[in-house]
Structure 1
Amino acid sequence: MNDSLQFLGAADSVTGSRYLIETECSRILVDCGLFQGYKVLRERNRAEFAVPPASIDAVVLTHAHLDHSGYLPALVRDGFNGPVYATPGTAELSGVMLPDSGYLLEEEARHASRGRWSSHRTPRPLYTAADAEHSLHRFSVVDFDRPHRIAEDLEFTFLPAGHILGAAGVHLRVGSRTVRFTGDLGRVDDPLMRPPRPLEPASVLVTESTYGDRHHANSDPEAALGEVIHRVAGQNGVVLIPAFAVGRTETVLLHLSRLRDRGRLPDIPVFLNSPMAVDVATIYQRHPDEHRLDPAELDRMYSLATKVHTVDDSKLLNLRGGPMIIISASGMLTGGRILHHIAAYGSDPRNAIVLTGYQAGGTRGSALLGGAASLRIFGRDVPIRAEVVDLDSMSAHADADGLIRWMGAVTEHPRQVYVTHGEAAAADALRARIKRELGWRARVPEHLEQVALPSEEDAAPDA
C-alpha cells in the first residue's frame, strides 16, 4: 500500500496516540503516547511495537502530555535513532515530564515488589528515568509556522493548538496531499491558553474526540471551586485536587489566585505537592506569547502555594490535617504523590476530592466519578467517604460543540475525517455529528487499521 496512514493507538481509546505515515521513501510517527486506563490498554505498552523502531525515520510530537509522548523512552531504547521534532515549549516540558514518568514507573515497580501485590514475581518498569533522559537527546526543536522538510516527499508545519504550552496541530504534506492532525485541541475560552489556530484546508483530517459526546457546563468553575473550598474549610477538612502537572495545575492556581484577589478564598494554607509542576512554572514564564497571563499575574499565581519538594515533606502533609488545600499529580489518579494523600484523607467525610479534568475509563479518577466506595492503592482497598466533586468545565479540551465549530469554519472541507483519541461513545457521537451537521465523510478507525491516503483522483471513501 503506497502512502498510508496506520492507527497504532488512540483508535479505540482516549490514550496512546500513535499515527504511522508511510510513503515509498519514508516512515514517520506522529505522536508516541502511552496507553493508560484499562489493563487491556496498558498491556499494549508492553507489546512489541508494530514496526521496528529503527525503521522509523522521525517522530513528530504534538505536545508533551504522556498519552502523546510517554512511550518515546521505550521507542528510543528499542532502536529508534531519528529526530523527535517538537515545538520549543513541548521540548522543554518533555525534558521535565519524561524523566519524571520514568522515575514514577520505577517507583511503582519498587512498591509492587516490596508489597508483593504485583502478579509478576519481579515487577519491572516499562522504562527507567535513565531511558527517558537518553531519549531527550533525540529532540529537535521546530518553531510554530515554520515548514520543515523531513524527506523529499514529507514536510510538516506546527500550528498553535491551545490546550497546553507548546501544543500544536500538525499540517503534514505527503506528496501532493495534506493530512491535518489536531493533536489535543484547546478551547477558545480557556482562561490560561490562547485559542487554537483555525482549521486550514487539508485532504485528510485526523481529529481528537475526547469530549466528542459532551458539553462543558456553563457554570463558572472558579465560583464552584470557591464554594467547595469554603464548605470543606468550614469543617476543618482537606481539599485534595488531583491535577496534571502541566496545564491543569496552572489553571487551578490561576483560579485560586483570582479567588484570593477578590477576597473569596478562605485563609487556609495551599500546598503544591508536585516537583514537576514547580519546574514547569519557569517554562510558562519563558513563553508569554502562548498564554494569556501577564508576568505580574503569573508571579501572584505561583506565589500562592507553598511548594513541597522532598518526600519527607510530602509525608508530613498526611499527618497535618485540615483545613488545607493540596494540589498534586496525577490528574487521573494513575500514580504520583496524590495517591498517598488519597490514602490518608479519602476515608474522612469532612474532606473533598476535586476532579478537574477528563478521567479516562479504567483509571481511579473514572472509578471515583462512577461512585466507587473504595480505591485500590498500593495493594490495598482504601475506603472513599470524602465528597467527590467533578469540575470538568475546567478542562483544557474543546468540547463537542467546540470541535464542530472549529471544523465548520474551514473554507474547503477535507476529503475524509478520521475520529480518534476518544472512548467509543465519544468518538462515534462526534463522527455522527460531523456527517449530519457538516455533511463530511467521517469514520472511526480500528486499532492497527491501515488506510491508503487518497490521491487527488480518488473518490472519497464511504462515510
Structure 2
Amino acid sequence: MKTINVHFLGAAGTVTGSKYLVETSKKKILIDCGLFQGVKNLRQLNWDYLPIEASTIDIVILTHGHMDHTGFLPRLMKMGYREPVYGTGPTLEIAEVILRDSAKIQEERAEQVNQEGYSRHKPAEPLYDTEDVEKTLPLFRHQPLDKWMNLGENIRYRHRYNGHILGSTFIELEIEGKLLVFSGDIGRNEDPLLYPPQKPEKADILFIESTYGNRTHLHEDIMERLKTHILETIEHNGILLIPSFAVERSQLLMYFLWQLKKDQLIPDIPVYLDSPMGANVLKILHHSSKWHKLNPADCEAMCKNIKVTSSYKDTLDILRDSQPKVVIAGSGMVNGGRILNYLAQYSYKESTTILLAGYQAEGTNGRHLMEGTEELKIYGKYYRVKAKVDALHGLSAHADQNELLDWLNEIQNTPQKIFITHGEPHPADALRVKIKDTYGWDAEVPKLYDIIPLEL
C-alpha cells in the first residue's frame, strides 16, 4: 500500500490563501498558490516561509486566477521555485493581470507609508515587486480543458469547467489509479454570463470549498435593486460606489447596468469602471468566447455602455465631477485599489451609497462596512462613514450550500476522504454536517499546516 501526504498550507480554517501540497514518493504537486487576505494575523502569514522548501516543489496547478489562489506565486518564486505553473488560458491571463496589479499596489503602498512614516517597519517593503512578477510569468504553461496531462509515472491531471470566473476549473489529479478532486471555487448554476459548473463523477479523495457552506443565497432581483439605488442616487444628487472584484463581478455588474439602460429603465447616468485591472479583464472576456454566454456583438455593446478609465488623472477628473454617477472600482473587499480614493472623498456624505457586491472576508474594510462601522482607516487616516451601505447578495460567484451539495450528486462512489476547505470555521462545519445528512459521507475540516497521510 502506497501513501501520500497532503499539506494544508492555506485556506484551512479560513477562506483565503489556497495552497494544498500533494507529496508522493516522486513528485510534490502544489494545487493553487494563493495569498492570505483579511485580518492582520492572516496577512502576516504571507511573509513567512512555507514549512517546506519551495525549491523542492515540482509542479504548481491553478484552479483559477483569483488573488487568493494565485497571489503568492511571486513570493514562491522568490523562495526558490523555478518549475512550471499550469492553468487554463484565461486563468493564466487573469493571473498575469492580477499579479502585476498586486505588485504595483504593494510598491505604491510601501512608498506611501515610508513617506508618511506610519509603518513600524523602517523601511516598509512590498511583499514582492514588479520585477518579481516578471520573473514568475515565464513559468506559466497553458493547458486545455478536459485533456489529461501526464506529470510522471502513474500521475496525471486535467482541468474541468466549474463556472465562477473566466477560466475557472476544478482539478482531477490521478495518482496510482486514485482520483483526488480539488473543487477550486465552484460557480453558480444560474449565472447570467457563465455556464453551469461541470460535476465530478468520481472522487476517492475530495477537497471541497465552503465559502458559503452555511447559507443559501437570496433570490433577489438584482436589476430592480440596482435600478432603485441608481434612481435614489440621481434624486439625491449623489454617487453610487460599487467596490468590485475586477474579475467576473465587474463584468456581471456591467451586464446588468447595460440591460437597465438598454431597456430604458434608468436614465443615461454616467457609469465608470475605474479599475485598470478590470479594464484588462474586459480584453480577456472579448477573446474567451467559449468560456461565457455573450456573443461578440453583445459583448461589444456592453463594453461601450461603460466609461473605462485609463489613468489616475481620469480618477481625479471623476472625483472633481459633481454630477450623479455610478462608479465601479476595485478592490472588492475595499482593502486597496481606487475605491479608497472615492471613499476618502465621499464616505462622509449622506447622499453617497456604498453597494457591496461580493464576499467580504473577516478583517477587511468591506466586512467593517457590512457590520456598520462609523469610520474607515484609509492610508493611515480615519474617515467618517455617513454613507448608506447596502449589499447585493445575489451577485456572488460562489455556490451556496444547496449548490455545493448539488455539485456532489453525480459522484457514484463513496469518497475515501473528504476535506472541507476555503471557509471560515462555522460555514465549513455546517457543510460537513450537511454532507453527512445528505449523502452519509464523513468529512473533516483540516487546520492550517496539517499534514495528513493518505493510503492509495
TM-score (norm. length: structure 2): 0.98
Query: What residue identity is the alignment partner of 1:325?
Result: V
Aligned to 2:198: 197
Aligned to 2:287: 286
Q: Secondary structure at the match of 1:388?
A: strand
For 1:66-81, what aligned pairs fall within 5 Å after superposition? 66-81=67-82
Contact 1:2 1:22 in 2 (8 A): no
Q: Secondary structure at the match of 1:8?
A: strand
Contact 2:203 2:411 in 1 (8 A): no
Aligned to 2:453: 452
For 1:262-411, what aligned pairs fall within 5 Å after superposition? 262-411=263-412
Query: What residue identity is the alignment partner of 2:272?
Result: F
Contact 1:25 1:153 in 2 (8 A): no
Residues of 2 paired with 1:209 and 1:392: CA distance? 16
Query: What residue identity is the alignment partner of 2:107?
Result: E
Q: Which moved more, 1:313-322 or 1:342-351?
A: 313-322
Instruction: Tell me by how many angstroms 1:12 deviates.
Output: 1.2
Contact 2:340 2:378 in 1 (8 A): yes
Residues of 1 paired with 2:359 and 2:64: CA distance? 17
Residues of 2 paired with 1:142 and 1:291: CA distance? 18
Query: What residue identity is the alignment partner of 1:278?
Result: A
Instruction: Tell me by how many angstroms 1:349 deviates.
Output: 0.7
For 1:437-448, what aligned pairs fall within 5 Å after superposition? 437-448=438-449
Residue 210, structure 1, aligned to residue 206, structure 2: no
Q: Secondary structure at the match of 1:314?
A: helix
Contact 2:13 2:421 in 1 (8 A): yes
Residues of 2 paired with 1:154 and 1:451: CA distance? 19
Gaps of 5+ in 1: 456-463
Contact 1:98 1:133 in 2 (8 A): no
Contact 2:3 2:455 in 1 (8 A): no
- CA RMSD between the two structures: 1.1
Contact 2:60 2:86 in 1 (8 A): yes
Residue 127, structure 1, aligned to residue 110, structure 2: no
Residues of 2 paired with 1:390 and 1:232: CA distance? 15
Contact 2:329 2:339 in 1 (8 A): yes
Query: What residue identity is the alignment partner of 2:439?
Result: L
Instruction: Tell me by how many angstroms 1:264 deviates.
Output: 1.2
Instruction: Tell me by how many angstroms 1:118 deviates.
Output: 1.5
Instruction: Tell me by how many angstroms 1:112 deviates.
Output: 1.3
Residues of 2 paired with 1:153 and 1:445: CA distance? 27
Aligned to 1:254: 255
Q: Runs ≥4 in structure 1, deviation > 6 angstroms? A: none
Aligned to 1:229: 230
Contact 1:99 1:130 in 2 (8 A): no
Contact 2:365 2:376 in 1 (8 A): yes
Residues of 1 paired with 2:174 and 2:323: CA distance? 55
Instruction: Tell me by how many angstroms 1:412 deviates.
Output: 2.2
Q: Secondary structure at the match of 1:371?
A: coil
Instruction: Tell me by how many angstroms 1:321 deviates.
Output: 2.4
Q: Secondary structure at the match of 1:408?
A: coil
Aligned to 1:412: 413
Aligned to 1:2: 3
Instruction: Tell me by how many angstroms 1:322 deviates.
Output: 3.3
The CA deviation string for residues 294-349 of structure 1, in whole angstroms up to 9 with x for no partner, is 11211111111111111122122222123001111110011111111111111101
Q: Secondary structure at the match of 1:327?
A: strand
Q: Secondary structure at the match of 2:419?
A: strand
Paired residues, number: 455
Q: Secondary structure at the match of 1:11?
A: coil
Q: Secondary structure at the match of 2:137?
A: helix
Q: Between the two proteins, what is the percent identity of the paired residues?
A: 38
Aligned to 1:436: 437
Instruction: Tell me by how many angstroms 1:121 deviates.
Output: 1.9
The CA deviation string for residues 259-300 of structure 1, in whole angstroms up to 9 with x for no partner, is 111111222111111111111112111111111111121111
Contact 1:62 1:169 in 2 (8 A): yes
The CA deviation string for residues 221-269 of structure 1, in whole angstroms up to 9 with x for no partner, is 1211111111111111000011111110000000000111111122211
Instruction: Tell me by how many angstroms 1:213 deviates.
Output: 1.0
Instruction: Tell me by how many angstroms 1:111 deviates.
Output: 1.6
Instruction: Tell me by how many angstroms 1:209 deviates.
Output: 0.5
The CA deviation string for residues 66-96 of structure 1, in whole angstroms up to 9 with x for no partner, is 0000000111122101000010111111221
Gaps of 5+ in 2: none
